[in-house]
Amino acid sequence: MLLYPAIDLHGGKVVQLTQGDFSRQQIHGDDPVAVAQAFVAAGARWIHTVDLDAARTGEPVNRSLIAAIVAAVDVPVQAGGGVRSVAAAAALAEVGVARVIMGTAALENPDLVAAIAARQRVALGLDVRGREVAVRGWAEGSGVEWPEALRRLSDVGAEAVVITQIEGEGLMEGADTAGLAEVLGATSLEVIASGGVGDLADLLALDAVTAEGRRLAGAIVGTAIYEGHLDVAEAVAALQARRS
């Protein structure tokens, strides 16, 4: 399982939201490039970025910052937030983003995912409250539960699915391991967990999740890193040690 340190961008700053609430955000820096470089120096093999402004409005407010991050590091960068058209996805590919994450648009238009996946690498982003998938930057419920969403999107060409449990986001109270095991058993896609990790023990608990002989492909962590509860270098070493 790979650690994906998270760089969530809002108004050009590195932030973390609690339970997806924009009114409950913590600002963790104003130099996203330096943050990304520090993560890579500590051993991170991927960087996860989200344009939170674009997730809410569709406007790529932070695209230039994502481009700067890509240019400054030598590991792949995945990016989500506001990827709602072939043009938006292509613009991210043009600045070097290795994989785009599609949430709202994927659920509303599976054919669009297929069109983009034919051109570049795509991950699905399913942000869930309980079992319901939320859309538009977590602001609205979709009325669709994640098993149905995965069924609709099973053959559109995506290579992975990022599952964010909004109720645990930013709280550092542990991830929904039981729910993630259920997701693993319901899809052949790589599954990347997001939300709830508070320390190394929580991360290793995710690494132990199995279903149908499969494990999680990755875990996205933000708040625990920024607040000093999880050291990236220590976490990367611990994950590697479990596979050696």
Least confident among 41-45, 72-76, 139-143, 240-244: 139-143
pTM for the full predicted model? 0.92
Domains and CATH numbers, the chain: 2-241 (3.20.20.70)
Active site residue 8: yes
Instruction: Quote the pLDDT of residue 171.
Output: 53
The residue type found at 118 is: A
CA distance 76 to 123: 14
The C-alpha angle with vertex 82 and arms to 230 and 159, in degrees rounded to 5, equals 70
Contact (CB, 8 A) for 211 and 181: yes
Longest dimension (CA), the chain: 44
Q: What is the 3-state secondary structure (H, E, C) of 123-183?
A: EEEEEEECCEEEECCCCEEEEEEHHHHHHHCCCCCCCEEEEEEHHHCCCCCCCCHHHHHHH
Tell whether the model's pLDDT for residue 20 goes beyond 70: no
Measured CA to CA, the distance from residue 234 to residue 220 in angstroms comes to 15
β partners of residue 80: 50, 101
21 given a catalytic annotation: no
Handedness of CA 8, 28, 73, 9 (dihedral sign): positive
Q: Which amino acid is at 56?
A: R
Q: Say yes or no to pLDDT of 150 above 80.
A: yes
* pLDDT recorded at residue 243: 80
pLDDT band of residue 26 (cuts 50, 70, 90) is confident
Q: Specify the pLDDT at position 168.
A: 57
In this prediction, residue 104 has a pLDDT band, given cuts at 50, 70 and 90, of confident
Pick the catalytic residue from 51, 53, 127, 207. Answer: 127
